[in-house]
Amino acid sequence: MEEFYQGLTFPEIREMSIIVINTDGRVLSRNKLISEVSTLDTTQLLPGIYYITVNKNNQIVFSSTFVKIE
> DSSP class of residue 58?
S
pLDDT for 9 equals 44
Q: What is the pLDDT of residues 11-69, one digit of tens each?
A: 444 556 666 666 666 665 555 444 455 455 555 666 677 776 666 666 666 666 555 55
pLDDT for 14 equals 53
What is the edge-to-edge ordering of all strands in the sheet holding 48-55? 27-29, 13-21, 48-55, 60-67
- pTM for the full predicted model: 0.39
pLDDT for 5 equals 42
Domains of the chain, residue spans = 2-67
